[in-house]
Amino acid sequence: MPDFKALFEAAPGLYLVLTQPDFSIVAVSDAYLRATKTERAAILGRGLFDVFPDNPDDPAADGVRNLRASLERVVQFRRPDTMSVQKYDIRKPESEGGGFEERYWSPRNTPVFGPSGQFSYIIHRVEDVTGFIQLKQRGAEQDKLTDLLRERTEQMEAEIFMRAREVEAAREQLEAEQKLRQVQKMEAVGHLTGGIAHDFNNILTVITGLIDILAEAVEHDAALSSVTKMISDAAFRGAEVTKHLLAFSRQQPLQPREANLNTLVQDTARLLRPSLGEQIEIDTALEPDAWPAFIDPNHMSTALLNLALNARDAMPDGGKLMLETSNVILDEVYAAANLDVRAGEYVMVAVSDTGGGIPAAIRDKVFEPFFTTKDTGKGTGLGLSMVYGFIKQSDGHLKIYSEEGHGTSIKLYLPRSMGDMVDVEPPAPVDTRGGHESILVVEDDPLVRNYVAAQLEQLGYHTMVTANGPEALAAVEKGFVCDVLFTDVIMSGGMNGRQVADAVIAKLPSVRVLFTSGYTEDAIIHHGRLDPDVTLLPKPYRKADLARMIRQVLTQPPASVVAAK
């Protein structure tokens, strides 16, 4: 936090800060002390006119009268008052012989208002123009004097305005810095969790695939089949955790389309009624003409369910759950106060409860992964972080309003769909048989690479396995012709999956491309959704998923044709 007292005292201008209406001196700049040959300790707390009286040897002296009149105008009209140049002599210290010294000043008096608008102080700003006046009196450099005085006055007005804004600007800066730190913290945690999810998904891909092989091998042994199922369930739970981590880090592949949020909210309410129990009353308040939103409806439903279940847990003795929709315009003022918001039209969905509320001390932490106030075993701390990541990835905004002892309302703001989006239709179902086509595999994780090669060969495909982009391109250069390029997205070797695909398509225009990833970053996802020419098999996946997606991509047009569209 800047030391504004030190800044003020060191300012190059000549300043006094006065109380009103008694005009006592409460602050003074060093420059003012030098110009008036006074000391801070000798003048602070004293009345302005006690310190600076008129020169008793000058019968025409009217400096006190004119200055007092200006200060009283400031008090009366609550606006700045600029005075004409005044002759106002100053006392000389005894070390200089005492008496008074002739001086001329150009003063301006400005009111200072507190945060609630109360009139607090007056800034008395002067410019010592004695030299200029003496030049004028001697009839010299008249034109130069006029220009210099005008320039000085403009500088003085600009400086007064800037000083009056300093305290407000400092407060706004402090608030902005606190919000920026929170945004940066969430971004950093998002990158970390996304990277962890990527590594876990590679491991889980191998585990879940080998479970299928193991299950087939022990299907006639009930005990081993039970153990296999336990392993499968554990792997499924691990996959769910990584899915939530990817949601928080905004790296989950979304398939958005124009959706009616009223319908989604009504469907969610119907799902919730049997599971929440009779002690929770569910009510809805829906905007009749709610705008459509461009979102992934499945992920939106999951987000609403997570919020509703959190609300239920906040009301162990029962209460009311309210689901609302409305059309909202977030303006530039709101966007300026919330760094992650773009001004515009939004559809708002609110999930509110009458529970105990969220303590202010932890309100900024509730969206962090693994943060939970529930007892051990009763929550992973990933539900709200998943909601946060999904809303951010959908270019939306969310806000928590909570009061301890009264309840909580979490409001989700989703950008209005303007009708220029193209819905992505789900592909037609395909079987999971194998085939005899040729597949070029690009995967930098050796465990996943070996697993995929074994599964594809078992399905009957002719497979060429490579560890990175350059190796894949070298195989194509040597004459390997593939029907499908099956490539990881994030890899070592200097090329990501998108770059590998573009290079292979340039040499083999008839090739189909199937991407796979546990952490997509920006290679194939833009603006929160998959690029239109992308088919993705998310990690972790099982043999049946791999077989189905290979057959699906083989039914699609070549990648070069899709890209051209």
- What is the three-state SS of 192-213? HHHHHHHHHHHHHHHHHHHHHH
Report the range of poorest mean pLDDT among 213-222, 253-262, 268-277: 213-222
| Domain final residue, candidates 364, 380, 415 | 415
> Per-residue pLDDT for 320 more than 50?
yes
Residue 155 in domain: no
- 209 and 293 in a single domain? The answer is no
Q: Model's pTM, two decimal places?
A: 0.44
Does a structural domain hold residue 149? no
Q: Are residues 266 and 401 in the same domain?
A: yes
Question: Which range marks the domain in which residue 299 is found?
Answer: 257-415
Same-domain pairing of 268 and 405: yes
CATH number at residue 121: 3.30.450.20
Q: What does the pLDDT read at residue 381? A: 47
Domain final residue, candidates 193, 214, 248: 248
Same domain, 229 and 266: no
In the chain, % of residues over pLDDT 70: 72
Q: How far is CA 299 from CA 255, 331, 502, in A?
A: 9, 27, 30
* Pair 451, 484 in one domain: yes
**240 within a domain of the structure (yes/no):** yes
Cβ pair 18, 50 in contact under 8 A: no
> Does residue 335 lie in a domain region?
yes
Domain contains 151: no
- How many domains, in total, are found in the chain? 4
Residue after which a domain boundary falls, among 190, 221, 248 = 248
Is the Cβ–Cβ distance between 80 and 101 less than 8 Å? no
Q: Do residues 243 and 318 share a domain?
A: no
pLDDT digits (tens, 9 = 90+) for 353-364: 888 887 776 767
What pLDDT, on a 0 to 100 scale, did the predictor assign at position 316? Answer: 83
Residues 368 and 451 in one domain: no
Same domain, residue pair 96 and 209 = no
CA atoms within 13 A on the CB side of 415: 22
Q: Which two tokens stand for residue 519?
A: 């952490």
Task: For the chain, give the mean pLDDT.
Answer: 78
Determine the pLDDT at residue 74: 94
**496/472 Cα distance (integer angstroms):** 12
**Any idea what the CATH number is for the domain that residue 449 is in?**
3.40.50.2300
For residues 366 and 468, membership in a common domain is answered with no
Residue 537 phi/psi, 5-degree rounding, is -105, 100
Find out whether 533 and 408 touch, Cβ atoms under 8 Å.
no
Measured from the Cβ of residue 476, the count of other Cβ atoms closer than 10 Å reads: 20
Mean pLDDT of 232-239: 62
Q: Which two tokens stand for residue 430?
A: 């395909």
Q: Tell me whether residue 319 is in a domain.
A: yes
Residue 251 has pLDDT above 60, yes or no: no
The three-point CA angle 107-109-114 to 5° equals: 155
pLDDT confidence band for 25 (50 / 70 / 90): very high
pLDDT digits (tens, 9 = 90+) for 169-201: 665 665 555 555 545 544 544 444 555 555 656
Q: Helix crossing, 543-554 with 446-458: angle to 10°?
A: 70
Between 246 and 97, the more confident residue is 97
- Residue 86: how many other CB atoms lie within 10 Å: 18
The answer to whether residue 519 scores a pLDDT higher than 60 is no
Same domain, 267 and 411: yes
pLDDT band at residue 117, thresholds of 50, 70 and 90? confident
pLDDT at 204 exceeding the cut of 80: no
pLDDT of amino acid 190: 47
557 and 493 housed in the same domain: yes
Percent of the chain at pLDDT above 90? 24
Q: Residue range 429-441: average pLDDT?
A: 76
Count CB-CB contacts under 10 A for residue 465: 20
pLDDT tens digits, 44-82: 999 999 999 999 988 888 989 999 999 999 999 999 999
Q: What is the structure's pLDDT at 71?
A: 94
**Would residue 506 count as lying in a domain?**
yes
Q: What is the tens place of the pLDDT at every residue in 149-164? A: 777 777 777 776 777 6
Would residue 54 count as lying in a domain? yes
pLDDT digits (tens, 9 = 90+) for 465-488: 998 999 999 999 999 999 999 998
Determine the average pLDDT of the residues in 98-111: 91
Of all helices (H) and strands (E), which one includes residue 176?
Answer: helix 142-217
Contact 18, 37 (CB under 8 A): no
